[in-house]
Structure 1
Amino acid sequence: MSLPLPEPPTGLPVGSYPNYAEAQRAVDYLSDQKFPVEQVTIVGSDLRLVERVTGRITQGSAILAGAGSGAWFGLFVGVLMSLLPPSNFLLIILGVVIGALFGLIFGWVGYRATGGNRDFTSRTQVVAAKYDVLCNPHHAEEARNHLAQLALKTGTL
Structure 2
Amino acid sequence: MTTPFSAQDRPGGPPRLPTKPTGWPIGTYEEYGQAQRAVDFLAESEFPVQEVTIVGVDLMLVERVTGRLSWGRVIGAGAASGAWFGLFVGVMLNLFSGSQGGGLVQIAVCLALGVVFFVVFAAVGYASTRGRRDFQSSSQLVAGRYDVLCQPRHAEQGRDLLAKLAMRPAGGAV
TM-score, normalising length: structure 1: 0.84
CA distance in 2, matches of 1:106, 1:39: 48
State the shift of 1:77 in Å.
Answer: 4.8
State the shift of 1:15 in Å.
Answer: 0.8
- The aligned length equals 155
1:60-99 map, 5 Å: 60-79=72-91, 80=93, 83=97, 87-88=101-102, 89-99=104-114
Aligned residue type for 1:23: A
CA distance in 2, matches of 1:94, 1:56: 32
State the shift of 1:146 in Å.
Answer: 0.7
State the shift of 1:87 in Å.
Answer: 4.9
Aligned residue in 2 for 1:45:
57
Matched, 1:118 2:133: yes
CA offsets per residue over residues 62-94 of structure 1, 9 Å max, x none?
111122223334334544279365751323223
Give unmatched runs, 5+ long, in structure 1.
none
- Provide the aligned C-alpha RMSD in A: 2.3
**Which is further off, 134-143 or 100-109?**
100-109
CA distance in 2, matches of 1:91, 1:48: 48
Residues 13 and 106 (structure 1 numbering): CA distance in 2 closer, same or farther, change over 3 Å? closer
Aligned residue in 1 for 2:68:
56
Give unmatched runs, 5+ long, in structure 2.
10-16
TM-score, normalising length: structure 2: 0.77
Counting aligned pairs with the same residue, the percent is 52
Matched, 1:2 2:6: no
Aligned residue in 1 for 2:14:
none
